Every structure is written in structure tokens, then in C-alpha cells.
Amino acid sequence: MTNALLAPWDTPFGLPPFAAIAETDFSSAFDTALDSARATIGAIADNPDAPSFENTIDALELADHDLSRVASVFFTLVSTDATPALEALQRDISPKLAEYGSEITMNAALFQRIETLWSARNTLDLTDEQHRVLMLTRRGFVRAGARLEGSDRDRLKDIVQRLATLGTEFAQNMLHDERDWSMPLAADDLADLPAFLQDAAKSAGKDRDETGPVVTLSRSLIAPFLQFSPNRSLREKAWTAWTSRGENGGATDNRAIVKETLDLRAERARLLGFDSFADFRLDVEMAKTPANVRDLLMRVWKPARAAALADAEVLQAMLHADGHKGQLEPWDWRYYSEKRRIAEHDLDEAELKPYFQLDRMIDAAFACANRLFGLDAKPVDMTLHNPDARAWEITRNGEHIALFIGDYFARSSKRSGAWCSALRQQSKLAGNIRPIVMNTCNFAKPPEGAPALLSYDDARTLFHEFGHALHQMLSDVTYERISGTSVARDFVELPSQLYEHWLDVPDVLGEFATHADTGQPMPKALLDRLLAASTYDMGFQTVEYVASALVDLDFHEGPAPADPMQRQAEILDDIGLPHAIPMRHATPHFAHAFAGDGYSSAYYSYMWSEVMDADAFQAFEETGDPFDPATAKRLEDHILSVGGARDPAELFMAFRGAMPDPTALLKGRGLAA
């Protein structure tokens, strides 16, 4: 029978034919696609004709089309609906894909063709985009070891393959710890919780085939449980389970994986001529050096820590007033912070939540995109990777722009967090290829027939990920290599974090924050209180984030630590992390840093981008219209449509006219002096 993954996809919008794909198709599809890609790469490298941009760079761009299709489907499924069979294949295929990548970048004949083109670049008739693609291609080869020889070359190949295996194991261990833990709630414990949280606990129990309601380690469930449960012992139990993911001993313990990963990254950097992995990693980012990153983080850390310590004194007094002795603990912070928010701002999450319906927030994200960029979203009925997922066709002036997929609900087979991915990226080299973009979240699933309710933070997450999606959908370049979010890591969060600002526009909340039961808009007094409290508890939020970013940077800035957990403790002690505030991501479950190289020594990127996004939204505010057409056009022309076609600093300068400093960020977080 024909393997559906390799056959032509005669489907609407070129969507993968999920209904026709079986788990058993992937192994043979990967083997066939890898063989085909290797043959194509070999033909490019051994081409007897003189190197040209078309027969080398263009050819490389199109060389692994089938492999990209198979991989996009596979990694979508393994991250959103994992099964033991898919996880086993992921452990097998990840090092094979890493080996294939090394074969390409260490192909001496192929690299020589690229070097020949690079040397002659000023005499070639290349567009600006082609110059950029040539530079990035050559740089990628050099950073992957193309210049190494002999044993160094062989060692780097081994390191890259081993790191791929370790990243896969780290991520799967996290998923297993999250999947295997749940805490049943007795009737009295359930009754103490607001109705939306009771519903979420019941749905989680049903999803896991439990006999009753449970708390799981999904952030959308455990965070509100810590926020609302008056049972201190249960809060401690839940918090301990949440923060000990990856360090419970046994087969899913990640601490040895972290140690080996850091050792191998440091060795990799040395082989490539860098003093540390952070130097290697940051060399191609906007920040450029670890010193620049540390400077930004510490400028934010000092006022954030001062604010957090002042808040801790207030919350500890509330703890003592409740009859508890001793100091405020991490499992107490969210509970007493919520009580304080109600007292000081007259804001109750349980009162707010009915106004943040998932469907209405999706509508709000689409409406903002329409007002800013003229995009329209129309639901389409399609067979997707999971029954919970939904699809919309995105058009502009009747022209197809993209297919957008939203997979919003938590389930035990889905990895935690929220992210944007592309089943297909925009490009023009082989025709007008329009993207298929997907947002994946982990919101609590409601009981059947009930509306899904989000927290205000959940709604921000939805807008954040849709900002990434816009970066993909509005891309307008020739080469996939520089399409959409294929930009510097500390620039990629700019469009996503910038888009969050439109959730806070009063007109947007006034129209779309409607009550789930009555359909009435949020009362203006409540809306005003919500916006006035936008920086509430920002000391806590900033401290937990910056602590993780500093640990990530320190781990990679010098020699690999002999004992990462001990080094983590030393770093947190050195910076004076408040007792009741943990790192946002402790090392054994720090997926950004260890489930692959994506944000390794680059977790700071969110804050680096926030410096820009605070200033970028100010460009709209200066016009007096958050939807100013001319400013939106500049944003699309200079940032959203060009992907990585130009240096990110140039792009921001073209949009804003100057580079920002952290002042706007500190002001936006309520931490300015």
C-alpha cells in the first residue's frame, strides 16, 4: 500500500492527510525521505558544473522537501498527542536526523561550492535576499563544523547526535512525570474551589480515567489550584510535585542528562573556537555577548527583587494572620497574593474568568489582526491531528494567506507549555507556497457543553502565540530559510510579545470580554480595575523569570559545572532569590534550556525582546490610535513580512527609527524608579 506520508497530498490547502496516516507509516517514510535527501545532496555536492547560486544554494533549499513534510507531521503528533510508539520512534529518529544534518554541513565538496560563491559574492548578480541567504548558509555550515578536520570533525558529529538524544530524553521524561502524577480531591477540598476550577478538575479526572476530580501538573490547572485552595498541606503537595518534575529519581530523572548536556555543549563550543557555549550561542544573536545579556538581566533584577521582598512582607503578615507560624513558603505566594489582589484592587479571578471565554478571545485576536493588517478568518471543517483542534482559513481582500490551526486544550498526551509551529512555511522558490501555522496551548478543558474559560494570563498567552502566528502568516520572502520566525532567537519574541499589548486595549476588552452566562460586556468599573492592576505582583513574575535566565546564562558562560544542581543553588544564593519565589523553571524541568538547543543560554530572549516590544507599542500610542494604519503598515513591512531577510537591528531601526533601552520595559512592568 502507498505510504500516505510520501504520496501527493491532494487535500484542501495541502494539509497533511491525518486520517490516512498511521503510526507505522513514519519509520519507513523517514528512511525513504532520508535516502532521497542524501542522494539529492550528493548530486549537488558532486555537480561537475561550476558553482552557481541556482545549482547550489537554491538546490539546497529544495533538497529535503519530502523529509521536511514527514518531520513536520511527526513532530506535531509527538508533541501534541504522544503515544509510546511515537516516543520510541522519536528516540530513534532524533540522532538520525542530527547525523543527516552533520553529513550535509561537513560535506567538504558541498562546503567548497558555498565558499566559492561566498568569495565571489560581490561579483554575482544577487538580490539582497540572496546575499542574506548565502551569508546565513555559509555561517550555518561554519558553526556546524565545516572547517573542522580529522578527529575534531568526527567528535563534533558524535556530540551533535548525542545532544539530540539527550534533548529527546529530557523532554520525554518531563512529559512522563507530568502524565504520571495526579492528586485526587475529596469533596470538601473540591467545594473550597471556585466553580471554574472544580469543572477543570473534573475534566482532568475524566481525561485520565480517574474516578473523580484531580489536580494535574498542567499549568492551567495547578496554578489556579495554588491560587485558590485554602488547604495549605494540599498546596504544598501540589507545589512539590510541580517543582520536582525531572528530579524524582528513577528512569525519568533529568539531572544526569543536564550534566552530560552541559559538558557536551562546552566541548562543542571549544571545538568551534569559542571560550564557552554562551559565547558560541550568542555570537549570532542581537545581544552578541554574555556580558550584554547579564547587564540587561541585572538592571531588571535589582528593582524586581526589591519589589518582591516588599510584597513578601505583606503576604507573610497575611499568613500569620491566618494562624500559621514561620515564614512565607513558595506554595503560599499565589494564594495570599490572590487574597491581597481582591483586597487592594477589588479583583477576584473567579469574578474575572467568566469574561475571558476562549472563543471570544480567539475572536478578539482575529479582530485585532483584521484592524491592523486587514486579515479575515473563516472557520473550515477539516480532519486535523486531534478532534480538539480547529482550523481557519486566513484571507486578505479575498486572497488566501494561510491556514491557521488552534489546538488549545491540555491533555495527558500533550507536552506542557504553549508554542507556535508551522506544518508548512511560506516561500516562493518553488511557487507561491502559503503557510500552515499552528498554535498549541494547554488551557483547561471544560465539561462538555460548557464554555472554556481562561484566566487573564491565559488570554495573554493566546495573544502571544497568535503574534508568532502572524509572523509566519504575513511572511513574504522567497526562501524558507529566512521565512517567518526564522530570525535571531532574541528577536523572535518581539512580534509575539508586542501582540499581547492589544489584549489590554480597552476597546478590545470592552467588545470581546463578555460574560459566559449573561453575554454582557465586562462592566467598565471592573475593566478599569483590571487594567489598573496590570502590574500587580510584577515583582514575583519578574524575579521568577530572571532567576531562570541567570541560571541558564551562568551554566553556559564558563566551564560546565561539576554539579549543576549545586551550581543552581549557588547562583540563586548569590543573587539573593527571595525564599518564597522559586525559579520559573528549575533545572531538571527547564525545557527551554535542555529539551534541545532552542533557548539554551538564550532564555533571556523574552526580556531582550520585551525591551523592543514595549518601545514598539509606544509607536502606536504616540499616534493616539492603537490601530494606526500607517504604523501597522510599517510593522508589517519592516518586521512581520521580512522574516530573517535582514539583520534584526536593521529591521527594528527601520520600523522605529532608533534602538530602545530598558526604560520602557521597567515602566511597563511597574518597576521604574
Residues involved in catalysis = 465
Asked if 441 and 414 touch (Cβ cutoff 8 Å), the reply is: no
Angular region, 333: left φ>0, alpha ψ -120 to 50, beta rest: alpha
**Is residue 371 a contact partner of residue 538, using CB atoms and an 8 Å limit?**
no
Tell me the C-alpha distance between 410 and 441, whole Å: 7
Determine the Cα–Cα distance for residues 405 and 466; give it in Å rounded to an integer: 10
* 262-280: burial string, b at 16+ Cβ within 10 Å, e else: bbbbbebbebbebebbbbb
Is residue 426 within 8 A of residue 433, CB to CB? The reply is yes
Q: What is the 3-state secondary structure (H, E, C) of 236-290?
A: HHHHHHHHCCCCCCHHHCCHHHHHHHHHHHHHHHHHCCCCCHHHHHHCCCCCCCH
Which cell goes with 406? 488552534
Report the C-alpha gap between 570 and 414 in whole angstroms.
33
Whose grid coordinates read 518553488? 430
Q: Write the burial class of residue 520 (CB in 10 Å: 0-12 exposed, 13-18 middle, 19+ buried).
A: exposed
Residues shown for the chain: 673
- Bridge partners, 419 (sequence order): 440
Handedness of CA 267, 273, 278, 280 (dihedral sign): negative
